[in-house]
Amino acid sequence: MQYRTGTQWNFHLVDREHPHDDIYFHRRSCRSKIYGMVYCKKYMMTLHSHVIKFTIAVICLAVVQPLFAQQLPGQKMTNGNKIPVVIYTVKGNYDEVWNDLKTALNDRGLVISSISHVGEMLERTGEVLGRTKKIYGKANIMEFCSAIISRDMLERNPHFLAFCPYQIMVYTLPGHPKKVYLSYRRLIWNDNSGREVLIPVEKLLEGLINDVIEMHKEFK
């Protein structure tokens, strides 16, 4: 630490762990220099301790934060502009929820183009691979399309074909047959161009799932 003759420092620092220990830096005497240097070292050690604690707290928050993404059953679990997958949960029977989704689709004048039986495929191939861990209770993916929305989307950017067909995933987890998950992937493009024609697709997917939730409440 350097000092200049004829000057006085008016730094007034307080140790948070010892609030009564005020730290003054005076230039006018050798004793005050030593006093200031000793307490400066003590202050820097305390400051270093606080920095370490703050860093650990930030790291812990970053690790724990994803654990709070889930919400109550029947509510949207994850959503937001930066989250690529939106997940809902519904309490009920899987087959009833699946049929409600088909009804919601038909009510909008849409039809199923195909169904991916993911759960059955995993069960079948798991036996061949010798990997029999059960991942789902039931799991299917409903695929469909909308002629009007798709044309608007593809006229805007033919590369948006990557988003076709639209999909809604319906599944349960082992040991929880009455908790049905409905999810869809958000349509995210790297430079966010053409967002105006992608939003209607997301609104369609969101609306279908909301219809299922409302119908399920109605028949509950």
Evaluate whether residue 140 is within a structural domain: yes
Choose one of 66, 88, 103: the last residue of a domain: 66
State which H helix or E strand residue 163 sits in.
Answer: none
Average pLDDT estimate for 50-70: 39
Percent of the chain clearing pLDDT 70 (strictly above): 61
Residue 170 bridge partners (DSSP): 140, 182
State which H helix or E strand residue 177 sits in.
Answer: strand 176-185
- pLDDT tens for 102-146 read 999 999 999 999 999 999 999 999 999 999 999 999 999 999 999
- Is 66 or 48 the better-scoring residue by pLDDT? 48
Choose one of 24, 39, 66: the last residue of a domain: 66
Evaluate whether residue 2 is within a structural domain: no
Residues 49 and 114 in one domain: no
Residues 93 and 78 in one domain: yes
Q: How many domains, in total, are found in the chain?
A: 2
Contact indicator for 172, 68 with CB cutoff of 8 Å: no
The widest CA-to-CA distance across the chain, in whole angstroms, is 90
**Whole-number average pLDDT of the chain:** 75
Please indicate, yes or no, whether the overall pTM of this predicted structure exceeds 0.85: no
- Is 6 or 93 the better-scoring residue by pLDDT? 93
Give which of 212, 213, 182, 185 is closest to 198, Cα–Cα.
185
Task: Find the domain containing 31 and state its range.
Answer: 12-66
pLDDT at 193: 83
Query: CB within 8 A of 132, min separation 6: which ones?
Result: 126
Count of Cβ atoms closer than 10 Å to residue 170 Cβ: 24
Evaluate whether residue 5 is within a structural domain: no
